[in-house]
Amino acid sequence: MSLDPVFMPAPERHVLRKALENRSFLVGLVITALVAVTALVSFVWTPYDITRLSVANRMLSLSAEHPFGTDHMGRDILSMIMIGARNSIAVAIVAVGIGMGIGVPLGAWAAARGGWTDEVLMRVNDVVFAFPALLSAVMITAVFGPGAVNAIIAIGIFNVPVFARVARAGALSLWPREFILAARAAGKGKALITVEHILPNIASVLLVQGTIQFALAILAEAGLSYLGLGTQPPMPSWGRMLFDAQTRIAVAPHLALFPGLAIVITVLGLNLLGDGLRDVLDPRLRRQR
Amino acid sequence: MSLLEIENLSLEIGDTPILKNIDLSIAPGEVMGLVGESGSGKSMTALAVMRLLPHDARADGRVTFDGIDILAAPEAAMCRLRGDDIGMVFQEPMTALNPVKTIGEQVAEGIRWHTGANRADAEARARAMLERVGLPERQFPLTRYPHELSGGQRQRVVIAIACALKPKLLIADEPTTALDVVLQAQILDLLRELVDENRMSLLLISHDLAVVAEMTDRVTIIRQGTVMEAGETARVLSRQEHPYTRQLAEASTHVPARARAPGRAAGAEPLLKVEGLTRDYPVRRASLFSPARTFRAVDGVSFALGGGQSMALVGRSGCGKSTLARMVLALDRPTSGSIRFLGEEIGARSADELRVARRNMQPVFQDPYGSFDPRQKVERLVAEPLHLLDGKPDGARRRELVAEALEQVGLAPSDMEKYPHEFSGGQRQRLAIARAIITRPKLIVADEPVSALDVSIRAQILDLFADLRDRLGVAYLFITHDLTVARAITETVMVMHEGRIVEAGPTETVLGNPQTEPAKALVAAAPDLQRALERRLVRSAG
Amino acid sequence: MTAYLLRRLTIAIATLLVASLVVFSILEILPGDPARIMLGMNASADTLEALRTEMGLDRPVVARYLSWLGGMATGDFGRSLTYSSSVTDLVLERLAVSLPLAAIALALSTAIAIPVGVFAASRRGHAADTLSMGAAQVGVAVPNFWFALLLVYVFAVGLRLVPAGGFPGWGETWASHFEALKALVLPAVSLALPQAAILARVTRSAMVEVMGEDYIRTARAKGLPRRVVLWRHALRNALIPVLTIMGLQFAFLLAGTIIIENVFYLPGLGRLIFQAISQRDLIVVEGVVMLLVASVILINLLVDICYAAVDPRLRTGR
């Protein structure tokens, strides 16, 4: 990505005011918060118990009792979507966490060391980049059988080089700056400078990238679950619900509609949040408005 | 009748007023200087004439060019004017050319667009034009890309584009500010020749009174979007009737009042002694099979600097002076040679062994915006070098030291609660100096410390440097391309050229009577307000 | 130029070698006994032994890796246990579906995205920009397999314009070619549109960024109208980041192809790999994964070559 790696910040309170004036940010924040709250609520309450199957209530259409209808086993779709949100978010958090937790230190280290270390790390990055999450998941499933952990590992691995590249590019653009030279002249070592100056200054780029990757992780998880490589039944997941809906699309299209909308709204919210954050944190892009 | 007539021009961008009731007129064949400090609105005036303003800008008043009402003309009419009757040269040659198109295409493009000439004819004219601006086809074929040219050569291409169709008016916006003095003199000569040959009018925008005195017939001085004074250049700049004009003129020739430099105790070891210093950089190979090559940025440099002394290192851009400064600061390792500071070799020391040296030697950099971590408060930033002290001062002691340093550079102790972006450029340079003196160093290495500042701010910062030397006895190594800085504040000067020191000695002697070619070229090219005015007066008298 | 290309080529080959090591390790070393995985728990000792011999599991690991690598270099990806035919033949047969699908999707998304992105950038702040970028914003969020389901519901179930799935084969006649192409329309569109949304956004922001550059002002000062500057000066510079994203997107397109083939029951590589997983046919999985990884690396090499074509700064040795 050709993001400008380093945003020169405004002071914190200005950022807050700008954020509240930014439509993308606000809409994104509200959607994301709603999805998160829904997922949390599902731990304590859902309209129906989704472990109770009922042949009599199979594939009911939309009604006051079941606003999104019921699926082929008579389970309430709204309840399933609520629990599915929990599942999607959990997978995305862990996968992005893996990517950031490994990728950022690697990228910052490569930039600080330069030379061979940098070259080797970047070539390793190239190799990982050649394995889309789906291929990793395919290999893991072929050997160990299907499971939700496969999806987390596969998506997490693919996130590592993404964050490593972003962190490295940001750090590389900072190292020649004069304030870093001044820190070196103040006797500070590379590790200390990375912690005190580099990481705080690339934090906003990483945050923006983080929201983008979070959205991608939710899409990827849905795809893997759809293919049967991710979350396994009976645990509800948006991707799996779409798979179940596929063969019944002619008779009960609502089965496919709502899980899909849930994915679109969640991903849209996260992307809007990311765009908003970028506008707020990067004065360079704002100027061009 | 005048060619360009600006009457009562006002301009707002968003809600910010930029220009207020500007009047300016240029007669055919006349050279007009537009002078002002940064943010005065001089570039926006030029863009208003071209009607290339940012899209949220609103202009009021009248701009008439050759009988055409510019502010009211349809866009198509403006496209016919731009590049044909009005040409423009910009400040930044490194970014003014499209990196993916050849110089031939870029010069020929305007010719084809306006004259409808076919490719071959347009290229022939482009070739002639490039030859005229000093880029003969033998060395600079039309198929060259911008990245294959130096900054000065690129500016020549930009001039070729602007002058290709012999416009009636040429606008040059700080055309030499990004170039070193020698290139500046060459580019200014070229502009003057082109203007004379084609009887063009020239609107020369500059912050540099000496350049304007050298080049222009009449001058308009603006400040914060308002015209302060306008008139014949020689008269305005020699009489200096308007207080702002006087202030600018004084600031640009300012020499800080100072006590004499302390004499060095005979036989004592100098503070800094550099011997046979060399730095090679590897050059990317042209192909896999060509041998590895290196570029020698610094080549066998030796010099010594005594305690409390002030020395300038001058030279053209790319001569290796910044590389030398970084090696002295132990931010870059020499390929060979030795640097002794306080009697200790620092060339190949580990970070830990360098603590004492670093405590006694601090940098001040050029860019007042890039010198500070934008996410930290002044207290932390100025206190950063305290990291070098053996017993780290506690919070209260640290604040005391920061407050003291801030006071010494003329800032208030309460400023330590602020972020760097809350300060102006000049104030930030004061912050940089406060950071540099907080460990009470014996040497400050300053790399172009005032070249990014406006003249009036620059005079104040030079005063501050002189004052601190008197009070703290600190020695300076000034790296600069600006000879007036060297004259103002140093006793000795070294002239660097292609990695070597070609001439060194007392500042007055070397700059007053240079012996080597590179030094002569630097001195001859350096703009000088007094000299330019004298020449102008002689010319108008004769 | 040649130095740059040689360097990129060397990197691509090295990446491919390391990637093959990764694939081999995961599928042949990590499981311990791949033969047992392939045959399952109930296999008799004799059949297990036979398969181990056939796969060469009795040989040292390094020798196995090298002979696997050597085989692939000569086009031999081994023999599938379940299909009892060579993996190469299986793959070639399936490529006849997957390759056209990916190519049509890529062409379609590029053909839509770049004009839309440039247009939006040229009308920045106007209604056309807001609308097209709003649509793109939503498009980025749509999972391609869900979009595919919607398309099936509307065009196959509802309007009955195209088949809901399956693939008749390319056949010999023009009519059968046409039927085959018809079967690929919905899959290609459902792959292409979400891709196009991303690419259009990248194109627009790259154009907006480039339009703020100094050389654009220089071109305007020559008297060129804005729209001419947009096409002649801005687009080529904006292509550099667009190419980068296209390279990265290819990996997603590939994954998308695998998913979409499963939505439409197309007999492509995606279906092959899933049948192989459910039958635990590690040899087929290994071969197909390796092929897909190689194609990602190849595309990135092509992107590097395009960089050099677009950007003269990469062509000279500086």
Task: Please tell me which of the candidates C15, C141, C289 has its beta carbon nearest to residue A127.
Answer: C15
| C-alpha distance from A180 to closest chain B C-alpha (Å) | 8
Q: Which amino acid is at C74?
A: T
* pLDDT tens for the 542 residues of chain B, in order: 789 999 999 999 888 899 999 999 999 999 999 999 888 999 999 999 999 998 888 999 999 999 999 999 999 999 999 999 999 999 889 899 999 999 999 999 999 999 999 999 999 999 999 999 999 999 999 999 999 999 999 999 999 999 999 999 999 999 998 888 899 999 999 999 999 999 999 999 999 999 999 999 999 999 999 999 999 999 999 999 999 999 999 888 888 876 555 555 555 678 999 999 999 988 766 555 666 778 899 999 999 999 889 999 999 988 999 999 999 999 999 999 999 999 889 877 787 889 999 999 999 998 877 889 988 999 999 999 999 998 888 889 999 999 999 999 999 999 999 988 888 888 999 999 999 999 999 999 999 999 888 888 889 999 999 999 989 999 999 999 888 889 888 999 999 999 999 999 999 999 999 999 999 999 999 888 888 888 887 876 65
C11·A138 Cβ contact <8 A: no
| C-alpha distance from B172 to closest chain C C-alpha (Å) | 12
Q: Which of A189, A182, A193, A200 is nearest to B435 (CA)?
A: A182
Query: Could you give the 3-state DSSP secondary structure of residue A74?
Result: coil
B420 to chain C, any CB pair closer than 8 A? The answer is no
Query: Could you give the 3-state DSSP secondary structure of residue B250?
Result: helix
Asked if the bond preceding B282 is cis, omega within 30° of 0, the reply is: no
SS3 content of chain A, % helix, strand, coil (to 5): 75, 0, 25
| Phi/psi at B57 (5° precision) | -90, 145
B285·C317 Cβ contact <8 A: yes
Burial B144-161 (b: 16+ CB within 10 A, else e): bbbbbbebbbbbbbbbbb
Q: Which amino acid is at B202?
A: L
In chain A, how long is the greatest CA-to-CA distance?
Answer: 77
C146·A256 Cβ contact <8 A: yes
Strands B336-341 and B344-345: antiparallel
User: Which of A118, A119, A120, A134 best tests the C interface by mutation, with the highest count of C CBs <10 A?
Assistant: A134
Q: How many CB atoms lie within 10 A of CB B529?
A: 21
User: Which of B100, B171, B290 best tests the C interface by mutation, with the highest count of C CBs <10 A?
Assistant: B100
Check: CB of residue A99 under 8 Å from CB of residue A156: yes
SS3 content of chain C, % helix, strand, coil (to 5): 80, 0, 20
| C-alpha distance from A201 to closest chain B C-alpha (Å) | 7
B285·C218 Cβ contact <8 A: no
Check: CB of residue B282 under 8 Å from CB of residue B292: yes
Whole-number pLDDT of residue C298: 92
Global pTM exceeds 0.80: yes
Q: Which long-range contacts (CB under 8 A, 24 or more apart) does B192-196 make?
A: B194/B132, B194/B133, B194/B159, B194/B163, B194/B170, B195/B29, B195/B31, B195/B170
What distance in Å separates the CA atoms of residue C308 and residue C312, rounded to the nearest whole number? 6
Task: Please tell me which of the candidates C2, C213, C225 has its beta carbon nearest to residue B287.
Answer: C2
* Count of CA atoms in the C-beta half-sphere (13 A) of B94: 3
Between the CA of residue C126 and those of B62, C62, C212, C298, what are the distances in Å? 29, 62, 17, 40
Per-residue H/E/C for B86-100? EEEECCCCCCCCCCC
Which chain C residue has its CA at the smallest distance from B96's CA? C215
The ranges assigned to domains in chain A are 16-46+66-288
- Provide ipTM, 2 decimals: 0.86
- The full DSSP string for B455-471 is HHHHHHHHHHHHHHHHH
What distance in Å separates the CA atoms of residue A124 and residue B445, rounded to the nearest whole number? 41
A126·C11 Cβ contact <8 A: yes
Over range A119-146, report the average pLDDT: 88
A12 to chain B, any CB pair closer than 8 A? The answer is no
User: Which of A246, A267, A284 best tests the C interface by mutation, with the highest count of C CBs <10 A?
Assistant: A246
B385·A185 Cβ contact <8 A: yes
C244·A1 Cβ contact <8 A: yes
* Count of CA atoms in the C-beta half-sphere (13 A) of B356: 9
| Cα dihedral A37, A38, A42, A48 sign | positive
B52 to chain A, any CB pair closer than 8 A? The answer is no
| C-alpha distance from A12 to closest chain B C-alpha (Å) | 9
Task: Cite the DSSP H helix spans in B313-359.
Answer: 321-328, 355-359
CA C219 to chain centre: 38
Check: CB of residue B119 under 8 Å from CB of residue B108: yes
SS3 content of chain B, % helix, strand, coil (to 5): 40, 25, 35
Burial class for B65, CB neighbours closer than 10 Å (0-12, 13-18, 19+): buried
Q: How many CB atoms lie within 10 A of CB C119?
A: 17
Contacts of B469 (CB under 8 A, 6+ apart): B258, B308, B310, B475, B476
Over range A238-258, report the average pLDDT: 87
What distance in Å separates the CA atoms of residue B309 and residue B493, rounded to the nearest whole number? 11
Chain A positions touching B330 (Cβ under 8 A) are: 185
B147·C213 Cβ contact <8 A: no
Query: Could you give the 3-state DSSP secondary structure of residue B232?
Result: strand
| C-alpha distance from B439 to closest chain A C-alpha (Å) | 10
A14 to chain B, any CB pair closer than 8 A? The answer is no
Domains of chain C (ranges; CATH) run: 2-86 (no CATH), 88-315 (1.10.3720.10)
What distance in Å separates the CA atoms of residue C135 and residue B451, rounded to the nearest whole number? 49
Q: Which long-range contacts (CB under 8 A, 24 or more apart) does C22-26 make?
A: C22/A127, C22/A131, C23/A139, C23/C286, C23/C289, C23/C290, C23/C293, C24/C65, C24/C68, C24/C286, C26/A139, C26/A140, C26/A143
Average of per-residue pLDDT values in chain A: 86
Which chain B residue has its CA at the smallest distance from A202's CA? B375
Q: Which residues pair with C101 in a beta bridge?
A: none
Chain A positions touching B372 (Cβ under 8 A) are: 179, 182
| Phi/psi at A205 (5° precision) | -65, -40
The fold of A16-46+66-288 is MetI-like fold (1.10.3720)
Q: Which of B174, B45, B158 is nearest to B96 (CA)?
A: B158
B108 to chain C, any CB pair closer than 8 A? The answer is no
Name the more confident of C318 and B380: B380
| C-alpha distance from C137 to closest chain B C-alpha (Å) | 26
